[in-house]
Chains A and B, each alone.
Chain A
Amino acid sequence: MAPSAPSLRFRLLLTLVVLLLIAAAAAAFALDSLYRNLGLRALEEVLDAQVMALVSTAELDGEGKLAPQNLAEPRLATPGSGLYAEILGSQGSWRSPSAVGSGLNLAAEPLPGERRLEHSQLANGTPVLGLSLGVRWETEDERTRDFVIRAAQSLVPWHRELLRVRTGLATGFLLLALLLLGGLAVALRFALEPLRRLEGEIVDIEAGRRESLGTGWPRELAGVTGNLNVLLRGERKRLERYRATLGNLAHSLKTPLAAMLGLVERGEVEPAALAPQLERMQAIVQHQLKRAVFGGSGATLIDQPVGEPLEQLRSALAKVYAGKSISLAVAVAPGTAYPVDAGDFLELAGNLMDNACKYCRGSVAVRATPWTAADWRRPGLVLEVEDDGKGIEPAERAHVLERGVRADESVTGQGIGLSVAREIAAAYAGTIEIGESRLGGARVCVRLPGR
């Protein structure tokens, strides 16, 4: 068995999973970076506030050292609290008690008025965020001194918070993705249900439990199921026709066989006595074969342009009837096409045109036009074949179309063309009608309905 292609469900689910993962990852990344930026901004504001508090409480001492007079923030007074501050000046530095022994190691030395933010590490590896502000201090003797005031905060609590949020985000998105996938699987099952039903009905048809597909299909499938039903009906009709042909053939051969058996039993084996029976058998075989030629499924889905085959027949018949010098006119409305088996159409038109050429005096006219109706999506076809011969008497017309249809009727091989044409037309749910032509002879009009 050939390796089967991945199922529609699998294809759809795989595509959706990939899309969903990409979308979830992008959303999580966006949320994460947003949260990180907001968090850092908040940390920065805290540090800003600390630096401002230091500036507002700092005073120069006699040695020219700047130091805060009291610490409003208790964390600055507690060693290892996570909040640190220092003031650097040319005459000495001040460090908050919390920073003592911490190994706080900020590098930025901004000029007065400048602010710098930096990431650094304590001696024990703790990551910190530091803010340094350059200030110019006026002394009482109207001289100026430059200082750098720094505040730093441990990032450990914030990192812990970030991890918590990220875990939350990942869990949330994973749950959402699983939920969506589950939903999609259910939706697909629902959407593909008609296909499952179609499969089941086809299995039933194969098993002979039903004759055709049911009704009530979604719009997207209605075309396919409609065409399948036409195909099935065509096949069934074809089968019936084969059975009938086979039956007719067998039954009609019985008579000459019986006659020959009789002759042989009477001891008559002269070729002259057997010949008529042999000829009859030959005619029967020829006749039934002629009728079995066409496909007549009626379910061809491809539009067959009719101009080309009519032109082929025209040039073929012009050769065959070259001795008769017939004017054979073929008129086809531009773009005329019909969903018909190519062989069936040649057989239908060929029989009618051959007949017309056979019985005409000198002219044959063929015309093909589309046949439109309001409720047909694809137009039907009207094929008219006219000649200037003697025509067919009204009383004869029905008989001519039926000729050779019944098995026990004597067959001559001649004039069976019209009845074959009638059968082909019938296979396409069409009709055939014999009338009088403006040319003076017979006018045969075939109407094949659209769909």
Chain B
Amino acid sequence: MRLLVLEDEPALREMLVQQFRAAGFAVDQAADGVEGEFAGQEYPIDVAVVDLGLPRLSGLEAIRAWRKAGRSFPVLILTARDSWQEKVSGLDAGADDYVTKPFRFEEVLARVQALLRRSGGWSQPLITCGAVALDTRAQEVRVAGAPVELTAFEYRLLEYLMLRAGQVVSKAELTEKLYEQDFERDSNTIEVFIGRLRRKLDPEDRHQPIETLRGRGYRVARG
């Protein structure tokens, strides 16, 4: 999942970036509204965490610009003023949820995960596709009830595919979403990780949870 952190306070931004990375996100960051608005327009962002008070261009204006350009990724706003006027204007501009400062990172993470689930059409933190069950809150994966140990990247890959269950996801999309902007891209690594995921989820080759569509990409069956 590719996440944009738009926050001007360096300490807070750094904290968010590090903790989201630790939680398995590919994180882009921007320190002012203009930079952030550009990132939201140009990069394949899945979710954005936006502070409202930003230099050069306010968070509200950045969100409005994204929505006007048809960018529909979920947006979580961070507000310093805990007033309904501010929350309403943020949500009205196109944001999807808010967290008031000061906050605990767990709260922000939970909101972001809920937004991602909702944008994938899931309403519960537990996503189940066939025998595979993924708990976005605990970041746990079970196959037929038995826990499976995954690396951070494997988990991100599976979560992305499962949130888009039923849809075909191309290798190019996975590369874009799972790596950050300045990362060396190599679509072969995706094939390697898909192979490892298959062996971990289905060692006996019974459920075949991840389908390969030649020349188009991968698909996890919904339901």
Contact = CB atoms under 8 A, between A and B. Distances in A.
Contact of A325 (B83, B87, B97, B123): B123
Nearest to A318: B91
B92 A322 contact: no
Nearest to B98: A320
A412 interface: no
B102 A286 contact: yes
Given A319-B97, A322-B96, A343 B91 contact: no
B85 A347 contact: yes
B88 A316 contact: yes
B83 A323 contact: no
B118 A347 contact: no
Contact of B82 (A293, A309, A316, A319): A293
Most chain B CB within 10 A, of A282, A294, A316, A343, is at A316
A289 interface: yes
Interface in B95-111: 95-98, 100, 102
Contact of A315 (B82, B92, B98, B114): B92
Given A282-B102, A286-B102, A325-B123, A316 B83 contact: no
Given A286-B102, A323-B114, A350 B88 contact: yes
Contacts of B118: 322-323
Contacts of A347: 83-85
A290 interface: yes
Contact of A313 (B84, B98, B100): B84
A356 B85 CA distance: 18
A349 B114 CA distance: 25
A198 interface: no
A420 B102 CA distance: 19
A313 B102 contact: no
A343 B86 CA distance: 9
A351 B84 contact: yes
B81 interface: yes
A227 interface: no
Nearest to A291: B82
Interface in B149-187: none
A343 B97 CA distance: 20
Interface in A299-354: 309, 312-313, 315-316, 319-320, 322-323, 325, 342-343, 346-347, 349-351, 354
B85 A323 contact: no
Consensus secondary structure, chain A interface = helix
Contacts of B84: 313, 343, 346-347, 349-351, 354
Contacts of B82: 286, 289-290, 293
Interface in A97-112: none
Size bin of chain B's contact surface: 10 to 19
Nearest to A285: B102
A414 to B, nearest CB: 13
B91 A316 contact: yes
Contacts of B123: 323, 325
Given A312-B92, A315-B91, A315-B92, A320 B97 contact: yes
Most chain A CB within 10 A, of B84, B88, B96, is at B84
A293 B96 contact: no
Interface in A346-380: 346-347, 349-351, 354
A357 to B, nearest CB: 13
Contacts of B88: 309, 312-313, 316, 346, 350
A320 B92 CA distance: 12
B76 to A, nearest CB: 11
A290 B80 CA distance: 11
Most chain A CB within 10 A, of B85, B88, B95, is at B85
A343 B83 contact: yes
Given A319-B97, A320-B98, A343 B85 contact: yes
A346 B91 CA distance: 14
A313 B98 CA distance: 13
Interface in A270-303: 282, 286, 289-290, 293-294
Contacts of A312: 88, 92
A319 B114 CA distance: 12
B148 to A, nearest CB: 26
Interface of A: 282, 286, 289-290, 293-294, 309, 312-313, 315-316, 319-320, 322-323, 325, 342-343, 346-347, 349-351, 354
Given A293-B82, A322-B118, A350-B88, 7 more contacts: A289-B82, A293-B81, A313-B84, A319-B91, A319-B95, A323-B114, A343-B85
10 contacts: A282-B102, A289-B82, A309-B88, A316-B87, A316-B88, A319-B96, A322-B96, A322-B118, A343-B84, A343-B85
- Name the 10 nearest CB pairs between A and B, nearest first: A350-B84, A316-B91, A346-B84, A293-B83, A343-B85, A316-B88, A312-B88, A346-B85, A347-B84, A290-B82
